[in-house]
Amino acid sequence: MTPTSIQTQNDPLVIDGVEFGSRLIMGTGGAPSLDGLGAALLASGTELTTVAMRRYSPAETGSLFQLLLDNGIRVLPNTAGCFTAKDAVLTAELAREALETNWVKLEVIADEHTLLPDAVELVEATEQLVNRGFKVFAYTNDDPVLALRLENLGATAVMPLGAPIGTGLGILNPHNIELIVSRASVPVVLDAGIGTASDAALAMELGCDAVLLATAVTRAQNPVQMGEAFKHAVVAGRLAKQAGRIPRREHALASSAMEGRAEFL
Amino acid sequence: MDTLQPAPRNPAITADVAVIGAGVIGLGIAHEARRSGRSVVVIDPAPASGATFAAAGMLAPVSELHYQEEGLLELMLASSQLWPGFAEGLQSAERGTGYRTTPTLAVGADAADRRAFADLRDVQLGLGLEIQALPVREAREREPLLSPQISCAFDIPGDHQVDPRRLAAAVLESLGRHSPADHSWVGGTGDPRLADGFLLNTAASCLLWEDGAVAGVALADGSRVLAGETVVANGLAAPALEGLPEGLALPLRPVYGDILRLRVPRHLQPLLTATVRGLVRGVPVYIVPRGDGTVVIGASQREDGPSSANAVSAGGVYQLLRDAQVLLPAVAELELLECTARARPGTPDNAPLLGRVRMPGDGGDVRGLIVATGFFRHGVLLTPAAASIAVGLMEGRHDERWTKFRPDRFPNPHHRAPATIKDHA
């Protein structure tokens, strides 16, 4: 075992007192087959995966839920498809009853074209769910003011988007993500917009505690290979953040310094 | 496993083949078995009322290719080649089967859809499949009602269609009928229909065993069918059948789909001459033109828990109409005839459960039993192949190419906990 692997293994993600060895949280939307999804999730090393309560019935045997259970992956139910706070609260209650978990990834979407969060309904739903005893993972715009507001209302984690859901455009406003991280005292999870491995590495370099993605893996031509790529990307980004990057310079600086060398005049 | 004992009070009928399930797969196998000279009894309380009733009937091995599902391609192509002969064998039916060699156009709505189709096209070409990029102008010359806004078109001449309802009706028409209460045929001799084939409108309840082989099936009304070969082709209901070989896992789950049928007003006919398969901002939709002036628009894919299996999702219908109109604005002018939802029998790897199954304990196959279910999105396309493979097995022919679809390929999950995820488990 190399020193670096020890370092990453001793660096768990802790949310609500629960430790996760992997900082990659997966979604399940868009998967071509159940077997294919299972293989991709295993390859990604994820220990926490979010499932849309509106799209998958936990009652069905042989369903997605069974697959997660069989592979020891914890389920984070989400409220995808909800457009109002009321909708989201009802869906969260349904999830709590069916899955016996008070964790919920809160999505309150403004419209089908952008799938962007509706900030007003999101704030309202967060407050209501916290008051009902939920641990709220709030999917939010990349707005530092809103992110802090959600934390103050009791969100367990804030999950700013890199870009709209499913776009694969990467992190459109890295500065805002950095700002959100710098002011947060709850875990920050970069959620949505990830297109490929380097986007996830960047999220970790910006200081996010974890990355959540689905489409980038499930709709890749080879989801298993892409899942593995993201596993490494998240570790790489985390290590790079901790290692401390060099400053950006306008002018070249030779990597081998001249001091101590013979000078021939 | 029960040992079959003569039970004179329970009526029994004897046939070469008992087929449980009268969807396209069961009916296709029944048809093929009869063509091979076997007598056949088909058992189904509601024939052709499940996924067969909903399916659009695209015979589309090329446009149905999905990444990581290349294993299924060989079977789809083989079945596609069997289709003309299979349809020919049913042409005598009153209304035919609706088999048509209309081509397929793959059409994208935006730039990302174009890239998605182009990426897939590279894989399709690499596999030797026939697909060709068509300039949008040319596509619209062929189909003038396509939206001027489409981003791309690909011609797939080998993807055709059949009408699954007419196909099922054609096979059913050739079968005699009996009501469960009518036991006049008991004993079997003298009824000419027994030498051929007929439909029994009742449910199967339990496989019957004799000397370690499946010997027929007990029915819900207490009667029995004794058969040399029993085919389990009742879709999602298969795992609930009693008397399946011990330890056999048939991991089926319902994947619901909404699908629409619409009439094209006379002045818009023909709406399309080719089947249009679209991607609209990443969401698939298809429009299949029928010979009778109707079109089929499908299909959503849901794994939610509807209050009943046939409940139609408003969101599903909305999405289909919305996306179909993006590609073909004239869809708004059509008359909506029917919104239907049914469950497809899905498997973990999207491939069917087809073939014989291993005897628990020893390595041999259970005699007298063939499973044919789990065809998911591909039941109609794969019907001739399933029929040919099943009858091949009855004749002792094994084709190594299809052993990867054996129904016993999945491990049996003993002592499965209910799907409940407890906190801090």
Domain coordinates of chain B in residue numbers?
Answer: 12-51+167-251+349-405, 104-157+253-346
Which chain B residues have any C-beta within 8 angstroms of a chain A C-beta?
66-69, 119, 123, 251-254, 282, 302-305, 346-350, 413, 416-417, 419-425
- Nearest CB among A32, A66, A166 relative to B350 is that of A32
Determine the distance in angstroms separating the CA of B418 from the nearest CA of chain A, rounded to an integer: 8
- Tell me the shortest Cα–Cα distance from B252 to chain A, in angstroms: 7
User: What is the rounded average pLDDT of the residues A98-109?
Assistant: 93
Closest by Cβ to A54, choosing from B304, B349, B419: B304
Cβ-proximal residues to A137 (8 Å cutoff; 6+ apart), any chain = A15, A76, A103, A104, A105, A106, A155, A156, A157, A159, A189
- pLDDT value at A3 more than 60: no
Catalytic (active-site) positions of A: 105
pLDDT tens-digit series, residues B273-327: 999 999 999 999 999 999 999 999 999 999 888 888 899 999 999 999 999 999 9
What is each CA distance from A133 to A105, A184, A188, B233, in whole angstroms?
14, 21, 20, 48
Q: What is the pLDDT of residue B7?
A: 46
Dump pLDDT digits (tens) for B15-54. 999 999 999 999 999 999 999 999 999 999 999 999 999 9
Convert the pLDDT of each residue in A161-201 to its tens digit. Answer: 999 999 999 999 999 999 999 999 999 999 999 999 999 99
pLDDT tens-digit series, residues A35-86: 888 899 999 999 999 998 888 877 766 678 888 888 889 999 999 989 999 9
pLDDT confidence bin for B247, thresholds 50/70/90: confident
Q: How open is the CA angle A174-A122-A175, to the nearest 5 degrees?
A: 10
**Per-residue model confidence as pLDDT tens digits over A202-256:** 999 999 999 999 999 999 999 999 999 999 999 999 999 999 888 888 888 877 7
Mean pLDDT score, B210-239 = 94
Establish, for the pair of chains A and B, how many residue pairs have beta carbons separated by less than 8 Å.
89
Q: Which of the four pLDDT bands, split at 50, 70 and 90, describes residue A259?
A: low
**Residue B422 in this model has a pLDDT that exceeds 50:** no
Is residue B180 predicted with pLDDT exceeding 70? no
A260: its two tokens: 């101590």
- Which percentage of chain B shows pLDDT scores above 90? 77
Average pLDDT over residues A126-150: 96
Query: How near does any CA of chain B get to the CA of A219, in Å?
Result: 9
* Mean pLDDT, chain A, integer: 90
CATH architecture designation of domain B104-157+253-346: 2-Layer Sandwich (3.30)
Measured in residues, chain B has a length of 425
Chain A residues with CB under 8 Å of B67 CB are 32, 220-223
Three-state DSSP state, B172:
helix
Q: Which of helix, strand or coil describes residue B312?
A: coil
- A66 contacts in chain B (CB < 8 Å): 416, 419
- B66/A60 Cβ within 8 A: no
- pLDDT of the residue at B195: 45
Nearest CA in chain A to B306: A57
Band of residue B177 on the pLDDT scale cut at 50, 70, 90: low
Best B115, B236, B279, B423 residue to mutate vs chain A (most A CBs within 10 Å): B423
Least CB–CB distance from B303: residue in A55, A103, A222: A55
Q: Determine the residue among B421, B423, B424 to mutate to test chain A binding: the one whose Cβ has the most chain A Cβ atoms within 10 Å.
A: B421
Q: A69–B422: do the CB atoms touch at under 8 Å?
A: no
pLDDT of residue A263: 63
Domains in chain A: boundaries? 3-243
CA distance A70 to chain B (A): 9
Q: Which residues of B touch A56 (CB under 8 A)?
A: 303-304
Q: Which residue has the higher pLDDT, A32 or B31?
A: B31
The answer to whether residue B417 scores a pLDDT higher than 60 is: no
Residue of B nearest to A168 (CA): B112
Which ipTM value was assigned to this complex? 0.75
Alpha carbon of B340: minimum distance to chain A alpha carbons (Å)? 19
Number of Cβ within 10 Å of residue A193's Cβ equals 24
How many whole angstroms from its chain centre is CA A252?
36
Q: Which residues of A touch B252 (CB under 8 A)?
A: 62
DSSP SS3 for B316? helix
Nearest CA in chain B to A20: B424
Residue A4 predicted with pLDDT over 80: no
Say whether A60 and B253 touch across the interface (CB within 8 A): yes
Residue of B nearest to A52 (CA): B304
Match domain A3-243 to its CATH number in 3.40.190.10, 3.90.1150.10, 3.40.50.12640, 3.20.20.70: 3.20.20.70
Asked if domains B12-51+167-251+349-405 and B104-157+253-346 share a fold, the reply is no
Least CB-CB distance to B349: which of A35, A63, A70? A35
Tell me what the pLDDT averaged over chain B comes to: 89
Q: What is the pLDDT of residues B112-131, one digit of tens each?
A: 999 999 999 999 999 999 99
Report the gap between the CA of B410 and the closest CA in chain A (Å).
11
When pLDDT is cut at 50, 70 and 90, the band that residue B68 belongs to is confident
pLDDT of residue A262: 65
Testing the interface with A: which of B66, B68, B344 to mutate, by most A Cβ within 10 A? Answer: B68
Contact B253 A61 (CB under 8 A): yes
Per-residue pLDDT at B2:
47
pLDDT exceeds cutoff 50 at B189 = no
Over the stretch B361-398, which tens digit does the pLDDT of each residue have? 777 999 999 999 999 999 999 999 999 999 999 999 98
- The residue ranking higher by pLDDT, B407 or A257, is B407
Split at pLDDT 50, 70, 90, the class of B186 is very low
Q: Which fold has domain B12-51+167-251+349-405?
A: FAD/NAD(P)-binding domain (3.50.50)
Q: Which residue of A has its CA nearest to B303?
A: A56
Task: Give, in order, the Cα–Cα distances in Å from B256 to each of A69, A218, B59, B300.
Answer: 23, 20, 20, 8
Facing B305 at nearest CB: one of A57, A62, A99: A57
Cα(B312)–Cα(B332) distance, integer angstroms: 20
Residues in B touching A219 (Cβ below 8 Å)? 282
Question: Is a pLDDT exceeding 50 seen at residue B84?
Answer: yes
- Coil, helix or strand at residue B389: helix
Rounded to a whole number, what is the distance in Å from the CA of A76 to chain B's nearest CA?
10
Instruction: Note whether A62 contacts B251, CB cutoff 8 Å.
Output: yes
Do A55 and B350 lie within an 8 Å CB cutoff?
no
- Rounded to whole angstroms, the Cα distance separating B214 from A34 reads 31
Identify all chain A residues contacting B347, using CB atoms and an 8 Å cutoff. Answer: 34
- A-chain CB neighbours of B69 within 8 Å are 32-33
